[in-house]
Amino acid sequence: MTDVIVNITLGVQGIQTVSKAEQIATLEAQLVEEEQFVQTLRKTLSNASFVNNAPEAVVATKKQKMDEVKARIEKIEMELRRLKR
């Protein structure tokens, strides 16, 4: 019986809790990074010289990456709204 309690206690000791404020701070930092990345992609894709001279696959990859980053931004914003309620 004691062995089981010791094992449970040891297992619980490894769990770290993250405060709501820490979660919000982390998400806000991620949001800034993602928004900066979108700006970089937007600038690249608005460069007519790049779009006209780059292989179609490269331009398509940049556009796909932009969509992926925008989706991550949406998820981060949703999570921030939920945490800030």
Which range marks the domain in which residue 23 is found? 17-84
- Token digits of residue 82: 């939920």
Please tell me the predicted confidence (pLDDT) of residue 4.
Answer: 43
The answer to whether position 29 is within a domain reads yes
The answer to whether position 70 is within a domain reads yes
The answer to whether position 41 is within a domain reads yes
The answer to whether position 8 is within a domain reads no
Please tell me the predicted confidence (pLDDT) of residue 2.
Answer: 43
The separation between the first and the last C-alpha atoms of the chain, rounded to the nearest angstrom, is: 43
Q: What confidence tens digit (pLDDT) does each residue in 22-52 have? A: 999 999 999 999 999 999 999 999 999 999 9
**Cβ(28)–Cβ(4) under 8 Å?**
no
Q: What is the CATH number of the domain that holds 38?
A: 1.10.287
**Cβ(22)–Cβ(16) under 8 Å?**
no
The answer to whether position 66 is within a domain reads yes
